[in-house]
Amino acid sequence: MSQRRGAKRAAAKKTIVPPVEEEIATNSLEEETGTSSEEERITKSQRNSKKQQKLVEEGEQRSDETEDGDAKIENKKGKRTGNRQQKSNSEPLKKVAKTDGKLNKTDSDFGSLDFTSKSKTKDGKPWNLKISSWNVSGIRALIKKNGLDFLKHEDPDVFCMQETKCSTKNLPAEAIIDGYHKYWCAAEKDGYSGTSLFSKVKPLSVTYGIGDKEQDKEGRTITAEYDKFYLVNVYVPNSGRGLVTLPKRLKWNQVLKDYLKKLDVKKPVILCGDLNVAHNEIDLTNPKTNTKNAGFTKEEREGMTELLEEGYIDSFRHLYPDKTGSYTFWAYFGNARAKNVGWRLDYFVLSERFVGNVCDCVNRSDVYGSDHCPITLFLNV
Amino acid sequence: MSQRRGAKRAAAKKTIVPPVEEEIATNSLEEETGTSSEEERITKSQRNSKKQQKLVEEGEQRSDETEDGDAKIENKKGKRTGNRQQKSNSEPLKKVAKTDGKLNKTDSDFGSLDFTSKSKTKDGKPWNLKISSWNVSGIRALIKKNGLDFLKHEDPDVFCMQETKCSTKNLPAEAIIDGYHKYWCAAEKDGYSGTSLFSKVKPLSVTYGIGDKEQDKEGRTITAEYDKFYLVNVYVPNSGRGLVTLPKRLKWNQVLKDYLKKLDVKKPVILCGDLNVAHNEIDLTNPKTNTKNAGFTKEEREGMTELLEEGYIDSFRHLYPDKTGSYTFWAYFGNARAKNVGWRLDYFVLSERFVGNVCDCVNRSDVYGSDHCPITLFLNV
DNA sequence: CTTTGAAGG
DNA sequence: CCTTTAAAG
């Protein structure tokens, strides 16, 4: 069953129009069926020039919402391979979270958290657009823990996920949140990586990947074009234990930088997601002992610096240059989260010329369900 | 923590002596340290002629019980391999069963079950020896479900397990049940197959395998020699989906038959365990639809027939020739157990000349925790 | 420590 | 459907 969304907004913002269709893509953007609406309409020709898009596929799938607003998706019977029964497409998850055996906290106390914000731009303009980003570390596990209840409370206009770890054909029905246009970008490899973007307003265009044949197999990037900016949702490759994939990661950094540069000449860019690097010593609890570990090597940190030098701002650090102990990731082991032994790996990085539009940027460290917490950006656009 | 055992015996039987040591073997029998006692003493020379025993191994391990009878075993720190933390040897299991998400029943209502028996031999002699056998489908999972509480209630003199799926070094402390001599036979492949034998009375000898180099890598057989008989605990190879391992299985049948023959010339044999075959149509719910499935092929059934023709008795069927609907295995899927759509795959097969010693043979179909249920043999010896 | 999928049942 | 492991984080 789809979630019912209890809107609860503090400041004024532009009206959101519900008419909706959904896009699910495994490393590719599928045809749209629904009609777009409102001011941010996009022409057919615009949408069809999907440069980065790669059409791979099997198991394609789409879902249109019903008139009463309840998400309903096709329920094809899974084909049998031998005796092994395959899960049907997007059935509700049958299992609930095994709260019993968990050693780490999984439940958020949403009732006691405050998601409101009266933040304004430097010029005093109130926020009217909210973007959230979350490395969910497996959307199916998150759903079992009721982690997507976050959306009921945060109610962002745009929601970006990383590490969904779910092929399109295995998406549970609970992932089809009502009221958003939904875009899925899965890795070729089942259960690995994967990103998703939910948007109340239909983007002018949505593309997948950063134009690198190899890297784009891993479902790491979704770009949504809006009237005033590009939003790029990324899950940057982890450099791995023993830094085995550091070379791949550094190459990715270069390709991403080039990719953003091309967008930035057209419109301001908002890059969000898990950048898999703590930029400076202030961005993690144990800088001294982690210089040889993935996420805090010299090379990764320099990559972040080089990116910013292209003309981007780390919005959180821009607003809170001296704030310590504010992280977005805590290892599952060692009771790290309870001790706030963490890393700031998730960012909203935006074009310098857009920084005047920023109202606030917060790390939702009290929201559980993953080893990362969500982050939220408040903008006036 | 080790289990405390609440003895509750209905009929008289010979006294059991507690002094205890333990043997844990990965495909091999380790040196004993404890002193054997009582009438069934075994000479050093006898014990050292372990013909079938194969000394492979790594990760050897032993445990001696403390004076107050509480099982205590060495707690070597797991060595680290890279960043990956290995579990320490035989620590108590930290996680409890995820009762939440289970679709199948896992808890036995021991309080309402009757494990007593007034059964007698044909000649009217009361039982004085009880042997239980259970394919536990993963001893660690069973323990999380408190499945070994079965022992507190059944309180057998000998307990045979199949599919322990646990290398010796990963055995949880809860597996070290007090009051038994314990023998473990694990497969070379971690988490696969594996058998165990617990005995209140120390066997005259214990050997592993059936004398086949290949087959004996899989930890499928433990033979315990007693004064009056041999007890052979087996986990017969499954023929697999699509019968891919049927040839291996048929070879196994031959080797086992030859192995038993050699024992049988010395003493009567009791073969117990998961024979992975439903012998006749009466032994499964759906004989018609399963003739091409592992466990009910012509070849497997004939293998069972050929074994019995060597001079053995299927004790359950001998006692209850027409009893229908009495099974020892139900597939986890399709709610099979609740519907009693099952198979009789677990047996006590014994030498014809020993059948006069049988008092009863029962399938404990109300004991949960595995896809098999325990079976229990009552004997007068 | 946790999430995936795979093999095996 | 369930239990194991391996790979990845």
Residue B297 amino acid letter: T
For chain A, what is the mean pLDDT?
Answer: 81
Residue B39 has pLDDT above 60, yes or no: no
pLDDT tens column, A207-244: 999 999 888 999 999 999 999 999 999 999 999 999 99
The answer to whether residues A218 and A190 touch, using CB atoms and an 8 Å cutoff, is no
Is B97 at the interface with chain A, CB within 8 A? yes
Q: What is the pLDDT of residue B162?
A: 98
Looking at B78-92, B125-139, B186-200, which range is the least confident one? B78-92
Q: At what angle do helices A298-309 and A246-264 cross, to 10 degrees?
A: 10
The answer to whether residues A295 and A280 touch, using CB atoms and an 8 Å cutoff, is no
Average pLDDT over residues A324-331: 98
Residue that is written with structure tokens 């680290």 in the block: B80
Is A100 at the interface with chain B, CB within 8 A? yes
Among the partner residues B85, B94, B101, nearest to A98 by beta-carbon distance: B101
What is the CA A296 to C1' C2 distance in angstroms?
22
Helix (H) or strand (E) holding B144: helix B139-144
What is the CA B229 to C1' D9 distance in angstroms?
54
Q: What is the pLDDT of residue B73?
A: 31
Is the CB atom of residue B333 positioned under 7 angstroms from any atom of strand D?
yes
pLDDT tens column, A183-200: 999 999 999 999 999 999
**Pick among B80, B93, B98, B104 to test the A interface (most A CBs inside 10 A):** B98
Among the partner residues B82, B85, B100, nearest to A241 by beta-carbon distance: B82
DSSP 8-state class, residue A64: B
Q: What is the pLDDT of residue B102?
A: 73
Query: Mind giving me the DSSP string for B327-347?
Result: -SEE-SGGGTTTTT-EE--EE
Structure tokens at A178: 């009502």
Is the CB atom of residue A332 positioned under 7 angstroms from any atom of strand D?
yes
Q: What is the pLDDT of residue A298?
A: 98
Query: Mind giving me the DSSP string for A140-204?
Result: HHHHHTTTTHHHHHH--SEEEEE-----GGG--GGGS-TTSEEEEE--SSTTS--EEEEESSPPS
Query: Does the annotation mark A274 as catalytic?
Result: yes
Average pLDDT over residues A117-142: 98
Nearest alpha-carbon partner for A50 in A219, A268, A205: A205
Q: What is the pLDDT of residue A64?
A: 27
Residue A48 has pLDDT above 80, yes or no: no
What is the CA B373 to C1' C8 distance in angstroms?
19
Q: What is the pLDDT of residue A214?
A: 86
pTM for the structure as a whole = 0.79
| Percent of chain A surpassing pLDDT 90 | 72
- Closest protein residue to D5 (Cα–C1'): B191
Give the B window 190-249 contacts with A, CB below 8 Å.
241-242
Residues engaging strand C (CB under 7 angstroms): A 83-84, 102-104, 106, 137-142, 145, 165-167, 170, 190-191, 332-333, 371; B 84-85, 163, 192-193, 237-238, 240-241, 245, 332, 371
> In terms of DSSP bridges, do strands B158-162 and B129-135 run parallel, antiparallel, or are they unpaired?
parallel
What is the CA B131 to C1' D3 distance in angstroms?
26
Residue A360 has pLDDT above 70, yes or no: yes
Q: Looking at the complex, report in whole angstroms how far the Cα of residue B243 sits from the nearest Cα belonging to chain A.
A: 11
Among the partner residues A103, A144, A241, nearest to B83 by beta-carbon distance: A241
- B173: helix, strand or coil: helix
Average pLDDT over residues B369-376: 98
What are the chain A neighbours of B144 within 8 Å (beta carbons)?
Answer: 101
pLDDT-derived band at B94, boundaries 50, 70, 90 = low
| Percent of chain B surpassing pLDDT 90 | 72
Q: What is the pLDDT of residue A150?
A: 98
pLDDT-derived band at B22, boundaries 50, 70, 90 = low
For chain B, what is the mean pLDDT?
Answer: 81
Looking at A34-43, B256-265, B266-275, which range is the least confident one? A34-43
Domain annotation for chain A: domains and CATH numbers: 2-88 (no CATH), 110-379 (3.60.10.10)
Structure tokens at A361: 């940027």
Residue B135 has pLDDT above 90, yes or no: yes
Looking at A38-52, A355-369, B196-210, which range is the least confident one? A38-52
Terminal Cα distance for chain B, rounded: 34
Residue A273 has pLDDT above 70, yes or no: yes
Residue A33 has pLDDT above 60, yes or no: no
Farthest-apart Cα atoms in chain A, separation:
65
Residue B176 has pLDDT above 60, yes or no: yes
Residue A60 has pLDDT above 70, yes or no: no
Structure tokens at B303: 């293998």
Average pLDDT over residues A49-58: 31
Q: What is the C-alpha to C-alpha distance for residues A5 and A348, in angstroms, rounded to an integer?
A: 25
Cβ <8 Å between B101 and A97: yes
Q: Look at B159 and A32; give whichever has higher pLDDT.
A: B159
Q: What is the pLDDT of residue B68?
A: 25
> In terms of DSSP bridges, do strands A329-330 and A230-235 run parallel, antiparallel, or are they unpaired?
unpaired
Q: What is the C-alpha to C-alpha distance for residues A228 and A237, in angstroms, rounded to an integer?
A: 28
What is the CA B140 to C1' C8 distance in angstroms?
17
Looking at B77-86, B191-200, B258-267, which range is the least confident one? B77-86
Residue A149 has pLDDT above 70, yes or no: yes
Cβ <8 Å between A97 and B96: no
Residue B82 has pLDDT above 50, yes or no: no
Q: What is the pLDDT of residue B91?
A: 77
Is B292 at the interface with chain A, CB within 8 A? no
The answer to whether residues B316 and B308 touch, using CB atoms and an 8 Å cutoff, is no
Q: What is the C-alpha to C-alpha distance for residues A149 and B19, in angstroms, rounded to an integer?
A: 57
Residue A352 has pLDDT above 90, yes or no: yes
HSE (side-chain half, CA atoms, 13 Å) at A268: 18
β strands within A57-185, DSSP E: 129-135, 158-162, 181-185
Give the A window 322-341 contacts with B, CB below 8 Å.
333
Cβ <8 Å between B100 and A95: yes
Average pLDDT over residues B187-198: 97
Q: What is the C-alpha to C-alpha distance for residues B166 and A52, in angstroms, rounded to an integer?
A: 48
Query: Does the annotation mark B64 as catalytic?
Result: no
Residue A144 has pLDDT above 60, yes or no: yes
Nearest alpha-carbon partner for B93 in B176, B181, B20: B176
Residue B78 has pLDDT above 60, yes or no: no
Phi, psi of A241 (to 5 degrees): -65, 135
- Closest protein residue to C4 (Cα–C1'): A191
Q: What is the pLDDT of residue B59?
A: 28
Nearest alpha-carbon partner for A40 in A267, A196, A256, A353: A267
- A352: helix, strand or coil: helix
